[in-house]
Structure 1
Amino acid sequence: PSPPSPLHPIPHTPHPLVRGLAAASGRVVGNAYVLSHPNQKPEIPPKAILVAPAIAPDWLPLLQQAAGIVTQHGGLTSHSAILARELGIPAVVNVTNATQLIQTGESLVLDGDRGEVYRFSHRDGELGRAEGTEGAEGEKPLAPPSLSPKRGEALSPLASYSPLAAPIATQLLVNLSQPSSIARVKDLPVDGVGLLRSELMGLNVLAGQHPKTWIEQGRRAELVDLWQDIISQFASAFAPRPVFYRSLDWRSHEFPSLSFGYEPSMSHTTTNPLLGQRGTFSYVRDATIFDLELEALAAVQQSGYTNIHLLLPFVRTVEEFSFCRRRVEQAGLTNVAQFQLWIMAEVPSILFLLPEFVKAGVQGISIGTNDLTQLLLGVDRDEGELAAAFDERHPVVMQAIAQIIDMARSAQIPCSICGQAPVRYPESIDSLVRWGITSISVEPEAVEQTYSAIANAEQRLLLEAARNSLRS
């Protein structure tokens, strides 16, 4: 395909109004919609730029019509950043005093590549002419979303991918949660879905009610059908490529609008939700919702899809895994020969317990660098002020990742990685490939750059091996 055309310059004031962390790529123009209180429920006008203290994941249905996001808090792995990248809209996070410095109705230029927000300048005429795009009356047209890591370019998902590109041996997977993303992602050069985020996926069907509420209202069968249907959309779109569904990892502070009245582990105040009753530990306490998920997955299998697999989140102990495995077997999922049961490698106990996990039946692992890094370094991933310390390139984190990959190879099970590390630091892909990572799973906007980085890393490794062979 021909090279992409650069965007025309967007007229704006010469100096940024505010700066923060560049969390999701792209540039967009729109009117600001400012929320001053984190608990304020947004009613976002179409194509507005949302400015808020922080973004709760359960705002997802409301964010579908936003043009961009600016938040005062959060880091590059916060849910604000993850949601924006999933939706393909620009975002800047950790912007000091954003809600005070920006007023509702102001025309803004949001640059998600540079982490800057400008006031839009009307001096050079209408944006439609500046962008070469005409919008509806009273609206500012948007710059096209870009999956390219290069600034100032707008690409379609496949614009710069050539079928003649070097083939890669390391599998490239994609992280997803929204059915609306399937159409633009399913034909990308990916080998499947490495992380299907159930928490964000489920918000499309829960209608603001916790699953326990549905059950108490006698609507369990209805919810199972809805859950099956939405999972089946991913299984169908990517078949026969694998789809790894990560079961629910509820953290109450992230879903304030859901009714948790029937969930004991959610109804009380948690001192630290990031380390509290989450992941598989919550299943051991009450398996009601986990069993519902398993029933939906079994229904997906029974409808003919054998490419769906289960990824257990935040597993602390072998006993937790064994409990979950028994429930999985009781649900009939293991009756399908292709089914695989994996765990997330997020808790540092994995560094000591992986051989025992494998003996208990773990068939694969996926390294979640976001949680693993914060637990190894004692850094809250959602605190933007600590962004400099939250660095997956830290020797402790890199050594832990290398050890996990080596242990997985010794146990002869696949090892994937699905956190932000390969995207934030593409140079780390050289090490991952050298250590023997089986697959790398990234968000859609990073597929192109990750494919190239994997290809280059593998070529360097092959060249090095060839030179060593000649020397010997």
Structure 2
Amino acid sequence: IEAAWGLGDYIVQGVVTPDHYVVNKSDFTIHSRLIAEQSVMEVYKHPSGVKKVKVGAKKINKGKLTDDQIIKLARIGDSIQKHYYFPQDMEWAMEKDEIFIVQSRPITTLNLHPEKVKSVDPKSLDQMKLIFTGAPASPGIAYGKVARVMSLVNLDRVKTGNILVTDMTSPDFVPAMKRASGIVTDKGGQTSHAAIVSRELGVPAVVGTKVATKELKNGDEITLDGSTGNVYSGLPKLITGVHHKAEEVPHTATKVYVNLGEPDLAPTIAQGNADGVGLLRAEFMIAQIGIHPKKLIHDHREQVFISKLSDGLAKFTESFGNRPVIYRATDFKTNEYRNLIGGEAFEPQEPNPMLGYRGAYRYIVDESVFRLELEAIKNVRNKLGYKNLWLMIPFVRTVDQMRKVKQIVASHGLARSNSFKLLMMVEIPSNVILLEDFINCGLDGVSIGSNDLTMLILGTDRDNETVAPVYDERNPAVMWALEHIVKTSLKHKISCGICGQAPSIYSDLTEKLVEWGITSVSVSPDAVDRTKQIVAEAEKRVLKHG
């Protein structure tokens, strides 16, 4: 459903961009909302005809339809399609809350014939000159001319189709990352900003090369393979093939969620097939604010933090309609927090930040920042009305810590209910060993953070190239832990998901998780449809063999 202020002719002419709403046919729930800014509209002015006028200030960024109106229009559209026995393109208008259908015609633009497209011949990479190798960060093959960016002032160098080459990325790079066909960085691992955002964008990326900005110059033609980490000189051979209509994405009992962090990407990704957001990272939104929250508190500017975080959260909850958005509270490590403006005054220097002052312990020792997060959640849920926002607590070392965090959450007016779920990340061996005790604290669900859990079980840093080969989520010790978590959650009738990278990489692991009874898997946006196919096949086998 598309909607704009004023007469519909401006949509046809392309003068305005309409709101875009997607509704699920099966149960008439709202799948996604994309709200467009509109500053002008066309109105009828008697007797002169139509006239272009400004949209009132309060309406410029406001959604054009209420949820009830969206669903009412969807039901009307469904009944008209059933009447004509063929997909329909309908035009509608609304006056004083009354809906008028002004036109309905058969859709004649359905492309039922395959089209020929050009794609990279993977075999041609074997004949190309390898320049260097980095860490594979986002799968796919990309090629093009290098746009080397060593400062934010040079971001406009990146044109559509370029390969962005830089030392490392930050939230300020996102507009350029959207234009790039591929990304190569000197620094960073698979959990770096460049890696995570590349996966959200579906852009192939290689990170941690150490030498990219030295070896490459503007205008160089290169090819990168985001699945292997290889970067080649020159362009690959292209082959022509037939692009068939995409296979229909199956519905699954096991939810397939998406991992996200960048609010600006939410409206686009929400229109895909994810069942919700299984991991909404706080860190990117806070990095966009740019100032350490405790400095804002010190300067009596807490409202800046609350307002900006509320805006970011609202983009996700609004975009994903009725689907859940699970917000993971801040899990900055001290070295990451120190990079924010004012951070050095509030963050200790630690020899091992991964095992340091982070997660739930931080909220208990000093709840001032966590309090601001809870205020932002209340804003989105209570003032804006998006009840699909849930909360997940990361890096909880002890059962007592979970109890204390629950008390803090409750004291700020956020009580567990059918519409507000409280979950805990399972990413520390103590979470696995004492899982029943954690559950008995009162949890609605758990989500396995397979990245940290694997590192801590195997004592291995996956971003350290010397020991990274040991890192493997399919190690028997890790697999034992995963099975124990899923089956224990099932026994206690709480939800159990996984939000690390593993399900989007290893189909055999995903099949095992489904077999054990996991309720959701959360993957990068580019892996949602593929994972749904894997899950559907696994569910069929479980039903067949029991």
What TM-score comes out, normalization by structure 1 length? 0.82
Distance in 1 between residues matched to 2:369 and 2:314, nearest whole Å: 19
Q: Which residue of 2 aligns with 1:192?
A: 276
Q: Which residue of 1 aligns with 2:80?
A: none
Distance in 2 between residues matched to 1:330 and 1:153, nearest whole Å: 59
Equivalent in 305, 323, 333 of residue 241 of structure 1: 323
Asked whether the equivalents of residues 128 and 233 of structure 2 are also in contact (C-alpha less than 8 Å), the reply is no
Asked whether the equivalents of residues 511 and 535 of structure 2 are also in contact (C-alpha less than 8 Å), the reply is yes
Q: Secondary structure at the match of 2:307?
A: helix
Q: Secondary structure at the match of 1:427?
A: helix
Give 5+ residue unaligned stretches, structure 2. 1-111
Equivalent in 128, 131, 146 of residue 31 of structure 1: 146
Q: Which has the higher strand share?
A: 2
Asked whether the equivalents of residues 72 and 95 of structure 1 are also in contact (C-alpha less than 8 Å), the reply is yes
Residue type of the partner of 1:64? P
Q: CA deviation at 1:260?
A: 3.9
Asked whether the equivalents of residues 17 and 117 of structure 1 are also in contact (C-alpha less than 8 Å), the reply is yes
Equivalent in 53, 60, 71 of residue 171 of structure 2: 60
Distance in 2 between residues matched to 1:318 and 1:70, nearest whole Å: 42
1:332-379: CA deviation from partner (whole Å, max 9, x where unpaired) = 111754211101001110112221112212221000000000000011
* Cα separation, partners in 2 of 1:62 and 1:282, compared to 1, 3 Å: same
* Cα separation, partners in 2 of 1:449 and 1:3, compared to 1, 3 Å: farther
Q: Which residue of 2 aligns with 1:284?
A: 364
Distance in 2 between residues matched to 1:462 and 1:318, nearest whole Å: 36
1:309-344: CA deviation from partner (whole Å, max 9, x where unpaired) = 000011111121112111111111117542111010
Distance in 2 between residues matched to 1:218 and 1:172, nearest whole Å: 41
* Cα separation, partners in 2 of 1:114 and 1:272, compared to 1, 3 Å: closer
1:70-105: CA deviation from partner (whole Å, max 9, x where unpaired) = 234554444432232123322113436434433455
Residue type of the partner of 1:248? T
Q: Which residue of 2 aligns with 1:143?
A: none
The more displaced of 289-298 and 379-388 is 379-388
Equivalent in 104, 109, 114 of residue 223 of structure 2: 109
Asked whether the equivalents of residues 244 and 311 of structure 1 are also in contact (C-alpha less than 8 Å), the reply is yes
* Corresponding position: 1:176 with 2:287: no
Aligned residues: 424
What TM-score comes out, normalization by structure 2 length? 0.71
Q: Which residue of 2 aligns with 1:160?
A: 246
Asked whether the equivalents of residues 364 and 401 of structure 2 are also in contact (C-alpha less than 8 Å), the reply is yes
1:229-262: CA deviation from partner (whole Å, max 9, x where unpaired) = 2111111111311110000011133355312447
Equivalent in 79, 92, 100 of residue 206 of structure 2: 92
Q: Secondary structure at the match of 1:391?
A: coil
Equivalent in 432, 435, 444 of residue 525 of structure 2: 444
Distance in 1 between residues matched to 2:114 and 2:329, nearest whole Å: 40
The more displaced of 288-297 and 14-23 is 14-23
Q: Secondary structure at the match of 1:64?
A: helix
Q: Which residue of 2 aligns with 1:144?
A: none
- Larger RCO, structure (CA 8 Å, separation 6 or more): 1
Q: Which residue of 1 aligns with 2:510?
A: 429
* Corresponding position: 1:374 with 2:452: no
Asked whether the equivalents of residues 77 and 370 of structure 1 are also in contact (C-alpha less than 8 Å), the reply is no
* Cα separation, partners in 2 of 1:46 and 1:72, compared to 1, 3 Å: closer
Residue type of the partner of 1:414? S
Q: Which residue of 2 aligns with 1:49?
A: 163
Equivalent in 485, 489, 494 of residue 413 of structure 1: 494
Residue type of the partner of 1:201? M
Residue type of the partner of 1:326? Q
Rg: which structure is higher?
2
Q: Which residue of 2 aligns with 1:17?
A: 131
Q: Secondary structure at the match of 1:309?
A: strand
Q: Secondary structure at the match of 1:349?
A: helix
Q: Which residue of 2 aligns with 1:327?
A: 408
Mapping 1:192-211, distance limit 5 Å: 192-204=276-288, 206=289, 208-211=290-293
Q: CA deviation at 1:387?
A: 3.0
Distance in 1 between residues matched to 2:311 and 2:538, nearest whole Å: 39
Residue type of the partner of 2:138? A
Give 5+ residue unaligned stretches, structure 1. 125-129, 133-151, 466-472
Residue type of the partner of 1:183? P
* Cα separation, partners in 2 of 1:245 and 1:75, compared to 1, 3 Å: same
Q: Secondary structure at the match of 1:17?
A: strand
* Cα separation, partners in 2 of 1:87 and 1:257, compared to 1, 3 Å: farther
Q: CA deviation at 1:443?
A: 0.8
Q: CA deviation at 1:8?
A: 4.2
- Between the aligned residues of both structures, percent identity stands at 38
Distance in 2 between residues matched to 1:189 and 1:437, nearest whole Å: 19
Q: Secondary structure at the match of 2:294?
A: helix
Asked whether the equivalents of residues 74 and 383 of structure 1 are also in contact (C-alpha less than 8 Å), the reply is no
Asked whether the equivalents of residues 114 and 242 of structure 2 are also in contact (C-alpha less than 8 Å), the reply is no
Q: Which residue of 1 aligns with 2:92?
A: none
Residue type of the partner of 1:106? D
The alignment's C-alpha RMSD in Å is 2.9
* Cα separation, partners in 2 of 1:255 and 1:455, compared to 1, 3 Å: same
Q: Which residue of 2 aligns with 1:346?
A: 427
* Corresponding position: 1:397 with 2:478: yes
